[in-house]
Structure 1
Amino acid sequence: MEPVTSSPTAAPPRNAFREQQRREAHERYLDCARTVFERLGYHGATVADIVTEANGSRATFYAHFRDKADIAAALFERALPPGAAIYRLTADFPELTRERVRDWLDGHVLGFWVRYRVEIDVINHAIADDPGAAARHYRWITDAARELAPYLVRWTGEQEEVGLTRASLLVLQLERLCYHWLVRGVEHDRGMLLDILADLWYRELVLLREGPR
């Protein structure tokens, strides 16, 4: 009878370990970039500031990011999953009413903008300086509009692009208003703006749901 031996725990493949290290370094630079951008602002911050905050090196930074605009866009893209989830909530309304739209705006949309104000601020500065960041930002707008898919089912064939464009403009309008209001600090009466936004979104969602005329 052969002796029973315990099999040693297999070590993770070297490539998997390196990939984990790469992901951890990537996230560390993003976290440090957020800290630096919050403290110094987008234009006041430099790659050197981010590298110092991360206790890293320029070589490591440039192994992950092209430049300051690139890390700003990557930082913003970490906020995209919760941002997309907000727009998906519109499909869960038991009934589409103006009151439910207003509650959604007040309870979910505005909270998102306050929570991710640093990420939103830096991407808005980056898109002014870098065409690549601007293109990535606009793709987010259209991707967010696609989360309104339940309201776009009647927009098919030649009308598909029309429906998506209407939804994209709705998202872009909200994005611009919230940026100037909640990030840049332009003063507005919260109740008044919520009433106006609820009117606009309710009316447009009804039109989208009904489809092309």
Structure 2
Amino acid sequence: MSPVPAAAPPRNAFREQQWREAHERYLDCARRVFAALGYPAATVADIVEAANGSRATFYAHFRDKADIAACLFERVLPEEGGIYHLGADFPGPAREQVRAWLDEHVLQFWTRYAVEIEVVNHAMAADPRIAARHYQWIVDAVCRLEPYLARWRGEHEEAGITRACLLVLQLERLCYHWLIRGVRHDRETVLDILAENWCRELRVLAEGPS
């Protein structure tokens, strides 16, 4: 019996690979440019030059500078989502476990991805479309807290999601001004307050609407 020939790869597989590689190259170069120059001073021309590419290729991948900033942040969203997925497993929740989660996962994420967070905040301020994308990211993060939203169904669903979104947004704003913009806070005090706030609000969410 003659061997069955291997299936030929899709004709466009090579083009798709080229597209992905170019996309990632522009994102990597944009990160370096933003880190070196800051978002306000950086230009599309700077990114194109760093990528050794062309403006035509840039605009085949990204709408503008704000769009590549958003895409840069979207690249780390799976890791951010994983953080809130971990938060959904708290028993109780226990204050010390919540505090350790904030210290070891949430604050570490903000420190590790300071460039991505800084540029997307500038992009949100400049472009309402990026701000809308950011709010959807918040909603997606909140969905990772699903066990705490189980009682918020039907007419109460919007209220539950809004409460959870507010909890995440408060955390984001504090971390942004503290860890990115450099407003001075005592780390231990901040962790104590955040842990108390998260424990209290997660209990309210777990109990459901009164």
Shorter-chain TM band: over 0.9
Partner of 1:76: 73
Question: CA deviation digits over 1:189-210, x for unaligned, max 9?
Answer: 0000000101100000000000
In structure 2, distance between residues paired with 1:146 and 1:153: 11
2:59 is aligned with 1:62: yes
Q: Distance in 2 between matches of 1:10 and 1:96?
A: 52
After superposition, the Cα gap between the structure-2 partners of 1:204 and 1:14, relative to the gap in structure 1 and judged at 3 Å, is same
Question: How big is each residue's C-alpha offset from its partner over 1:140-188, in whole Å with a ceiling of 9 and x where there is no partner?
Answer: 1111111111000000110001000000000000000000111111110
Alpha-carbon distance in 1 for matches of 2:8, 2:45: 36
Between structure 1 and structure 2, the one with the greater Rg is: 1
Count the aligned residue pairs: 210
Which position in structure 1 is the counterpart of 2:181?
184
Would the aligned equivalents of 2:92 and 2:203 in 1 still touch at CA under 8 Å?
no
**CA distance, structure 2, for counterparts of residue 8 and residue 22 of structure 1:** 28
In structure 1, what is the equivalent of residue 45 of structure 2? 48
- CA offsets 1:72-103 (integer angstroms, 9 cap, x no match): 00001011100000001022224411111111
CA distance in 1, matches of 2:186, 2:115: 22
CA distance in 1, matches of 2:152, 2:4: 60
Give the one of 170, 191, 196 matched to 2:193: 196
**Counterpart mapping for 1:28-39 below 5 A:** 28-39=25-36
Runs of 4+ with >6 A deviation = 6-10
Paired residue for 2:203? Answer: 206
Which stretches in structure 1 are left out of the alignment for 5+ residues? none
Q: Find the counterpart in structure 2 of residue 27 from structure 1.
A: 24
Give aligned-pair identity as a percent: 71
Q: Does 1:118 align with 2:119?
A: no
More off after superposition, 100-109 vs 13-22? 13-22
TM-score, scaled to structure 1: 0.94
In the alignment, the residues of structure 2 paired with residue 90 and residue 71 of structure 1 have an alpha-carbon distance, to the nearest angstrom, of: 29
The DSSP-based 3-state class of the residue aligned with 1:14 is coil
Give the alignment's Cα RMSD to 1 decimal.
1.5
Which of 162, 167, 188 does residue 164 from structure 2 map onto?
A: 167
Correspondence for 1:134 among 131, 134, 146? 131
CA contact (8 A) 2:94 2:199 kept: yes
Distance 1:8 1:160 in 2: 54
Partner residue, 2:151: 154
Secondary structure of residue in 1 paired with 2:12:
helix
